[in-house]
């Protein structure tokens, strides 16, 4: 899909040549903070992708170079599932970087055509994405924007993870604390503006897997406050209740990813991979005991009790001190689409959320 560029946005024109080398051919994607162009590299004779910060983004050049640094780090592992960084530069007041061009359908586009994915294929996609996240997390980076639009199915059948625009380092104490991301895929701690770690990405991948299986995310409300309210009050409907082909064992995996308290989710992405891969053997044998690495096998996964989930989300949302934000919280998500967006911090009690 090609995107038209508004005249007032100071971005390069199609046909422009950067550094006497990269010929811009089309704008292939746009998010809340950046635009990605397809370009022809006259030196190598191949196609590349070039990402620019949008002009309205505060500290856009700094953010762009920071994303380039993170991309270089997480893509250095062979077969990382992440496009390689190739080059970077400055154009006027804007910065850009050049990366490997990934071709294929992103999952958002695929779902818009097919509504949902067969459980076996959904599991294969989740395994590929989880392997990629395991590599990212091993570098102590949390992506913070895992969603169908940022996962591309390549011609080889693998899944590539794109857009590290809001990725950040994390420590045992967590990472950056702000309300930036795509609300339907943000974890409770992220949507409340608390510091996040790798388990926030596991939540987001769980939401994505849920959507692949049933055709919609679990908290599909039109506003940010509506999503927060649903987190407090709504029961997550197991996928099998909506799609009978989904097994109870796969239900348990999805619900564990979607535990409100991060400590009740998978400890790491490879633990999730192990349980997803074990689904292939469900018809013959299920190992219900923890394996040597401490990974809990299918059958031993117990979702967190509803009471503790509500308590965690309540304490998370109450932790933002001060007056509740009054601007932007009720903007409909249709107004921002699937773009990555910065929202105001919210202070929300269970009672307020019910009334929202």
CATH number of the domain within which 147 lies: 1.10.510.10
Pair 160, 41 in one domain: no
- pLDDT tens for 50-103 read 999 887 776 778 889 999 999 999 999 888 899 999 999 988 777 899 999 999
CATH number of the domain that residue 42 is part of:
3.30.200.20
Residue 29 has pLDDT above 90, yes or no: no
Q: Copy the structure tokens of residue 165.
A: 């625009």
Can you give the pLDDT at residue 157?
81
Can you give the pLDDT at residue 323?
33
Can you give the pLDDT at residue 305?
37
Tokens 């395994």 — which residue? 127
Residue 204 has pLDDT above 50, yes or no: yes
Pair 83, 131 in one domain: no
200 vs 188: CA distance, rounded Å: 8
Global pTM reads 0.78
Question: What residues does 38 pair with on adjacent strands?
Answer: 26, 49
Among the options 41, 145, 201, 261, which is catalytic?
Answer: 145
Helix (H, G, I), strand (E, B) or coil at 151: strand
- Of 17-31, 187-201, 233-247, 317-331, least confident by mean pLDDT is 317-331
Residue 106 falls in the annotated catalytic set: no
pLDDT grade, residue 288 (50/70/90)? very low
217 vs 108: CA distance, rounded Å: 12
Give a yes or no: residue 6 inside a domain. no
Can you give the pLDDT at residue 208?
98
**Residues for the chain: how many in total?**
356
- pLDDT tens for 240-283 read 999 999 999 999 999 999 999 999 999 999 999 999 999 964 43
337 vs 149: CA distance, rounded Å: 11
Q: Copy the structure tokens of residue 310.
A: 């509500």
Domain count, the chain: 2
């Amino acid at each position: 899909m090609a995107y038209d560029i508004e005249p007032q946005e100071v971005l390069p024109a199609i046909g422009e040549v950067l550094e006497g080398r990269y010929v811009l051919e089309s704008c292939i994607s746009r998010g809340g903070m950046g635009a990605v162009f397809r370009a022809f590299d006259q030196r190598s004779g191949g196609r590349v992708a070039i990402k620019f910060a949008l002009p309205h983004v505060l500290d856009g050049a700094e953010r762009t170079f920071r994303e380039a640094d993170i991309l270089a780090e997480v893509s250095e592992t062979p077969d990382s599932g992440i496009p390689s960084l190739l080059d970077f530069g400055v154009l006027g007041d804007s910065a850009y970087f050049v990366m490997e061009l990934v071709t294929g359908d992103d999952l958002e586009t695929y779902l818009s055509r097919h509504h949902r994915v067969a459980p076996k294929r959904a599991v294969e996609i989740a395994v590929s994405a989880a392997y990629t996240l395991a590599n990212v997390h091993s570098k102590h980076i949390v992506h913070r924007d895992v969603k169908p639009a940022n996962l591309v199915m390549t011609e080889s059948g693998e899944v590539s993870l794109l857009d590290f625009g809001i990725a950040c380092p994390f420590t045992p104490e967590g990472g950056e604390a702000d309300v930036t991301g795509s609300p339907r895929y943000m974890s409770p701690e992220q949507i409340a503006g608390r510091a996040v770690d790798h388990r926030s990405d596991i939540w987001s991948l769980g939401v994505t897997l849920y959507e692949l299986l049933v055709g919609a995310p679990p908290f599909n409300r039109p506003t940010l406050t509506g999503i927060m309210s649903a987190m407090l009050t709504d029961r997550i409907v197991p996928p099998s209740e909506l799609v009978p082909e989904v097994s109870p064992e796969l239900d348990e995996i999805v619900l564990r990813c979607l535990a409100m308290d991060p400590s009740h989710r998978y400890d790491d992405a490879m633990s999730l991979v192990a349980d997803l891969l074990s689904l292939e053997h469900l018809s013959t044998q299920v190992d219900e005991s923890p394996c040597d690495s401490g990974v809990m096998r299918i059958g031993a996964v117990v979702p967190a009790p509803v009471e503790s989930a509500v308590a965690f989300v309540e304490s998370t949302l109450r932790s933002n001190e001060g007056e509740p934000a009054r601007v932007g919280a009720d903007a409909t998500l249709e107004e921002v689409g699937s773009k990555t967006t910065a929202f105001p911090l919210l202070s929300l009690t269970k009672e307020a959320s019910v009334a929202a």
